[in-house]
Amino acid sequence: MTPCRRHAARDLAPVLLLASIAAATSASRAQEEPWWPADLPRRVATPLDESPAERDDRMAWWREARFGMFIHWGLYAIPSGTWKGKRTGGAEWILNAARIHPDEYMPLREQFDPVEFDPTQWAMIARNAGMKYLVITSKHHDGFCLWPSEFTDFDVDSTPFRRDVLGELAEACRREGVVLCFYHSIMDWTHPDYLPRRAWDDRPTEGADFERYVSTMHSQVKELIDRYRPAVLWFDGEWEDTWTHARGAATYDLVRTADPAIIVNNRVDVGREGMAGLTRAGGFRGDFGTPEQEIPPTGLPSGVDWETCMTMNRSWGHQSFDLEFKSVEDLIRKLVDIASKGGNFLLNVGPDARGNFPPESIARLAAIGRWMDLNGESIHGTRASCFGDLPWGRCTRRSLPRGTDLDPPHDFHVVEVADERLYLHVFERPASGELRLTGLMNMPIAMQGVGDRGAYFLADPGAGALPVRREGADVVITLPSTLPDPIDTVVVLDIEGEAVVVGPPAIAPGDGAIFVDELAVEITSPSDEVEIRYTLDGSAPTMASQRVEGAIRLTDSATILAACFLNRAPASGVSRASVTRVVPKPAIAVLTSQPGLVASAYHGTFRQVPDFATLAPVSEQVVERVGVAARPRGDEYALRFRGLLEVPATGVWEFRLTSDDGSRLLIDGELVIDNDGLHSATERTGRIALEKGLHRLEVGFFEASGQDDVVLEWSGPGVERQAVPASACSH
């Protein structure tokens, strides 16, 4: 392949690109009309130092949207999971799954002729499903580009099709009112300058220049922004060790300088934590987290933007034999679950080689669209639930202007806000026939034209009010004997003021906490209207129990139970936490020691941290600290770090072990963290009480394939969270 039409562009450094972006962007934008919300700000004075209000303005349309379409499409749709007559699987990863040499993969472009590609149909399917935005793969890991790029000939312009897929889709999305966004791969398996190579790729690496690849990638990213003006750039493929935080930060800064209004996911940088997808602490770039194929089990802290991306069947790209499609019920409930936790749902479609969506995908999106036609108000523009677990379903909510007309439909675009609307998503009708909103302190608002306070079905408000009553600290809604929608019946309840829900009190530190001499325990509730009573002997709190009035100071082990009370009656469930006073592990005496840890390396196919006593190392060396600098050549290896850890003060120490794949931490022979198993970069935490001085340290780690990393951090008396320093390691 000829990697570049404009070979001189390879010599462009990212810093020079940054300097030229502003003028080029200004000239380009002056000739174009914006095609997403007109009030979306296009510029801020300093895009990389925006204020919280400026960030909220930039993220507003994306938070409002809640539901988008992901499209994985490219050359890999042609083999569709089969290579040389064999089902290899892999879909868009088929080059990797079937170990295809790039020279064998290139001829696929001569077969790319999706004559049935209809961008208007794609945009209409997304719009009719209630999806507000669409993210398509401008370039996946195979390097093939769905637009005619000036910086490569491995693009749609070199195929029989020769149509600008992204340009046509941009125009179709503009007409249909769908916001266009791009997925763009950092990794590129076929580019001659991308490193590292696949193990079976025998192209010589002499002359390959990764910095030159990054410069070309930056040129293409800027080309996409200038030509098509995507609202989101969704990066991926950041886990190879050639991609660093510095490169991620430079790419994010380049994109935001080219278009200050653009939104960029966290995979542009290296701060993503495994498939859970949220950004770990450390100053990493990215505007939202990207959980993949999973939904966070509980709500996330306010202000954390995230988006679950998920396949409709098992594959991202088209795979002809993958017919394991999720049901309509499952997909709708996943959408509701995500919205109830304050996230967005990016649901994938993998078109075939002719440009058609799978019929199973079309049918499911149409069914979701029918539900959204009636209930979309409970998804778009809503916020996370104010409740914890609801046994019968989920809750979303939005703000209401006080004094507005409460007869549906409603206009919610009002700045001054006082009350709230709760959307109660009923998956399963309770056997009691009642929705019990435990601990809801707010008063329901009477529906206009209805004599009593009431709720109603969002899909059929004309059916009349549902009776609402208060029982102590609970609000109870009476349901009819049958519900109109077996998948999700949405019940609307308007309440006075912002929702205040009294759940079980929060006990900090939580269950399992250890301490050495004294521990301060905070027990809190979100409502000032309740009082908290607690016990230290494991018995259930009553009004006769001790009242919380500030921090509780403990000098011995205890089992804390706490509950909220209102008007001398229970107003919440009971929280429980056991805390234990411990004796620190004594330091050991060592006559002499030398700096660094002994790192032993092992080759093998591992699926868990091995029993190192049964293995012979292929090499040993002394390293400054725990890390993959000690790795041998190639994938599939394990490392064992042994030595001494100097603890600067007596007390409880918290350790964090992040690894890809599995790892374990032992101190003085005690297992402190078990982070074992096959996974991407995942952090686990453990605590142990240690005496000041030296302690025996051992970390085991294995790597199966792909990205490899292992990092050990600590925090404790007088030490903020940080990587365990080399000065604390010896042997």
Cβ-contact 263, 58 below 8 angstroms: yes
- pLDDT of 9 strictly over 80: no
Q: Distance between CA 290 and CA 292 in Å, rounded? A: 6
Q: Which of 354, 378, 402 is the last residue of a domain?
A: 378
Question: Tokens 């030509």, residue?
Answer: 227
CA distance 113 to 159: 7
Give the total number of structural domains in the chain. 4
- In a shared domain, residues 434 and 463: yes
User: What pLDDT shows up at residue 24?
Assistant: 38
Mean per-residue pLDDT of the chain: 89
464 part of a folded domain:
yes
Q: Which two tokens stand for residue 160?
A: 């029989």
Domain stop point among 495, 527, 562: 495
pLDDT at position 551: 95
Alpha-carbon dihedral angle through residues 384, 390, 391, 396, given to the nearest 10 degrees: -40
Q: What is the pLDDT of residue 303?
A: 83
Q: What percent of the chain is modeled with pLDDT above 70?
A: 90
- pLDDT per residue over 453-494, tens digit each? 689 999 999 888 999 998 888 899 999 999 999 999 999 999
Residues 626 and 683 in one domain: yes
Is 403 within a domain? yes
Q: How many Cβ atoms sit within 10 Å of the Cβ of residue 717?
A: 14
Is the pLDDT score of 708 beyond 90?
no
Q: Would you call 251 helix, strand, or coil by DSSP?
A: helix
- Decide if 37 is inside a domain: no
pLDDT at position 7: 33
Residues 587, 651 contacting (CB under 8 angstroms): no
**Single-letter residue type at 531:** E
701 band by pLDDT with thresholds 50, 70 and 90: very high
How many other C-beta atoms can be found within 10 angstroms of the C-beta atom of residue 298? Answer: 7
Residues 545-560: what's their mean pLDDT? 96
Q: Is 315 part of a structural domain of the chain? A: yes
Q: Report the sign of the C-alpha dihedral through residues 469, 471, 473, 475, in that order.
A: negative
Residue at 215 is within a domain: no
- Answer yes or no: is pLDDT of 309 > 70: yes
What's the pLDDT at 597?
A: 97
Q: How far is CA 534 from CA 505, 522, 528, 575, 672, in A?
A: 10, 11, 16, 9, 31
Size (the chain), residues = 731
Sequence-distant (6+) residues with CB within 8 A of 635 are: 199, 703, 704, 705, 706, 708
Closest CA to 372 of 132, 62, 61: 132
> Do 81 and 321 contact (CB within 8 A), yes or no?
yes
Per-residue pLDDT tens for 638-677?
999 999 999 999 999 999 999 988 999 999 999 999 999 9
Q: Tell me the average pLDDT across 172-192.
A: 98
Q: What angle do CA 354, 227, 159 make, to 5 degrees?
A: 30
Q: Of the candidates 473, 495, 517, which is a domain's last residue?
A: 495
180 shares a domain with 107: yes
Strands 344-349 and 67-71: parallel
Residue 32 confidence (pLDDT):
38
- pLDDT tens for residues 24-77? 333 333 333 333 344 444 444 456 788 999 999 999 999 999 999 999 999 999
One-letter amino acid for residue 688 of the chain = I
What pLDDT is stored for residue 25 in this prediction?
Answer: 38
Distance CA 510, CA 601 (A): 38
Cα–Cα distance, 474 to 443 (Å, whole number): 10
> Which of 12-16, 384-388, 581-585, 686-690 is predicted with the least confidence, judged by mean pLDDT?
12-16
Flag whether pLDDT at 681 surpasses 60: yes
Contacts of 318 (CB under 8 A, 6+ apart): 72, 73, 76, 77, 80, 81, 91, 350, 351, 352, 353, 358
In the chain, how long is the greatest CA-to-CA distance? 86
If asked whether residues 489 and 518 sit together in one domain, one would say no
Give the residue carrying structure tokens 């653009």: 262
243 shares a domain with 108: yes
Residue 144, burial from CB neighbour count under 10 angstroms (0-12, 13-18, 19+): buried
pLDDT of 42 reads: 43
* Structural tokens at position 261: 């209004």
CA atoms 644, 648, 653, 655: torsion sign: negative
Instruction: Give residue-wise pLDDT tens across range 393-447.
Output: 999 999 987 654 444 444 444 445 579 999 999 999 999 999 999 899 888 987 6
Specify whether 403 is located in the same domain as 456.
yes
Question: Which residues, listed in sequence order, are joined to residue 352 by a DSSP beta bridge?
Answer: none
Q: How confident is the model at residue 8 (pLDDT cuts 50, 70, 90)?
A: very low
Looking up residue 623, the CATH number of its domain turns out to be 2.60.120.1560
In a domain, 92, yes or no: yes
Residue 300 binned pLDDT confidence (cut-offs 50, 70, 90): confident
Query: Using 50, 70 and 90 to split pLDDT, how confident is the model at 333?
Result: very high
Measured between alpha carbons, how far apart are the two ends of the chain, in Å?
51
> Kind of pairing, strands 133-139 and 86-87?
unpaired
CB-neighbour burial class of residue 386 (10 A; exposed 0-12, middle 13-18, buried 19+): buried
494-510 per-position pLDDT tens digit: 999 999 899 899 999 99
Rounded CA-CA distance 317/77 in Å is 7
Q: Are residues 682 and 710 in the same domain?
A: yes
3-state secondary structure 375-413: HHHHCCCCECCCCCCECCEEEEEEEECCCCCCCCCCCCC
Q: Which of 496, 181, 205, 545 is nearest to 346 (CA)?
A: 181
Q: What is the 3-state secondary structure (H, E, C) of 636-666?
A: CEEEEEEEEEEECCCEEEEEEEEEECCEEEE
Verify cis geometry, omega within 30 degrees of 0, for the bond prior to 461: no
Assess whether pLDDT exceeds 80 at residue 592. yes
Range in 237-251, 405-419, 586-600 the model is least confident about: 405-419
Strand partners, 729: 645
Same domain, 517 and 570: yes
Residue 231 near residue 36, CB atoms below 8 Å:
yes
Residue 128 has pLDDT above 80, yes or no: yes
Q: Are 609 and 542 found together in one domain? A: no
Residue percentage of the chain with pLDDT more than 90: 77
CA distance 226 to 149: 12
Residue 128 to residue 176: CA distance in whole angstroms? 10
Its pTM stands at 0.80
User: Which tokens in the block code for residue 247?
Assistant: 């490169």
Token pair of 430 as six digits: 């309770």
Given a cut of 90, whether residue 2 has pLDDT beyond it is no
Answer whether residue 134 shows pLDDT above 50: yes
Same domain, 638 and 665: yes
The answer on 206 and 165 residing in a single domain is yes
Q: Residue 569 maps to which CATH number? A: 2.60.40
Residue 311 lies in a domain: yes
Average pLDDT over residues 339-366: 98
Q: Which residue has the tokens 């004094």?
A: 403
**φ, ψ for residue 371 (rounded to 5)?**
-65, -40
447 and 559 belong to one structural domain: no
Taking only the tens place, the pLDDT of each residue in 189-236 is 999 999 999 988 999 999 999 999 999 999 999 999 999 999 999 999
CB 173 within 8 A of CB 127: no
Domain that holds residue 623: 597-730
- pLDDT bin (cut points 50, 70, 90) of residue 252 is very high
**What are the pLDDT digits (tens) for 88-118?**
999 999 999 999 999 999 999 999 999 999 9
Whether pLDDT at 528 is above 90:
no
Look at residue 286 and tell me if it is in a domain. no
